[in-house]
């Protein structure tokens, strides 16, 4: 849909193919994508091989990231949502930002495991492996803000007052509902 991105992608395809794509071929291809006039069919063997290859690549991406296990201070707790693991870009660059995927510049991936445990992943490679840290009150608030912002349907917490505070602060939902233990 964005001419600049489309032309850049087509230039890359030309390089990989080693031949020129005519302006007419570019227009036809763009029209096919825009009008969704295409089908993608993968042979079973190819799809399985691609899946396994992608798993290996995913492992490499995850292994090179900086992993930090965060524990909140005694008076703080994490909230979670219908998206307990999410990628967030706190410093998007330029008009279109810099993406939101695992490999995007500045992106951070957070997984809220329990009210007292979260995993933080970033692109800052750490050869030492996983680190454990006591998070500051400010960090816990930042992660709770992000958890609330990325939620689609609900946020949750073991503490109703904490939950109400974040719902009110981020104006994500009009109400909270107390869950019974039954």
pLDDT single digits (tens) 67-90? 999 999 999 999 999 999 988 887
Give the per-residue pLDDT at 106: 78
> Where is 86: in which H helix or E strand?
strand 85-88
CA dihedral of 109, 113, 118, 120, whole degrees rounded to 10: -20
Question: What pTM, to 2 d.p., does this model score?
Answer: 0.64
> Where is 24: in which H helix or E strand?
helix 23-34
Give the per-residue pLDDT at 101: 74
Give the per-residue pLDDT at 144: 93
C-alpha span between 142 and 123 (Å, rounded) = 18
Chunk the chain into consecutive blocks of 10 residues (it has 182) and report each block's average pLDDT, rounded to whole numbers: 80 91 91 86 83 88 88 95 87 65 80 95 79 94 91 87 86 58 44
Burial code (b: 16+ CB inside 10 Å, e: under 16) for 74-102 equals eebbbbbbebbebbbbeeeeeeeeeeeee
Handedness of CA 180, 164, 82, 80 (dihedral sign): negative
Structure tokens that stand for 89 in this block? 């870009």
Give the per-residue pLDDT at 174: 59
pLDDT single digits (tens) 25-42? 999 988 888 888 888 887
């Amino acid at each position: 849909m964005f001419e600049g991105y489309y032309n850049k992608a087509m230039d890359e395809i030309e390089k990989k193919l080693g031949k020129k794509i005519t302006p007419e071929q570019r227009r036809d291809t763009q029209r096919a994508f825009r009008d969704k006039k295409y089908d993608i069919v993968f042979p079973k063997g190819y799809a399985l091989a691609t899946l396994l290859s992608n798993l290996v690549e995913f492992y490499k991406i995850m292994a090179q990231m900086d992993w930090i296990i965060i524990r909140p201070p005694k008076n703080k707790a994490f909230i979670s949502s219908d998206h307990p693991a999410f990628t967030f870009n706190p410093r998007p660059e330029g008009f279109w930002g810099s993406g939101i995927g695992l490999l995007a510049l500045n992106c951070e991936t957070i997984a809220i495991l329990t009210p007292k445990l979260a995993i933080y992943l970033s692109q800052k490679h750490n050869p030492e492996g996983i680190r454990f840290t006591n998070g500051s009150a400010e960090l816990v608030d930042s992660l709770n803000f992000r958890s609330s912002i990325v939620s689609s349907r609900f946020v949750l917490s073991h503490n109703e007052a904490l939950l109400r505070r974040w719902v009110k602060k981020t104006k994500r939902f009009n109400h909270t509902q107390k869950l019974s233990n039954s």
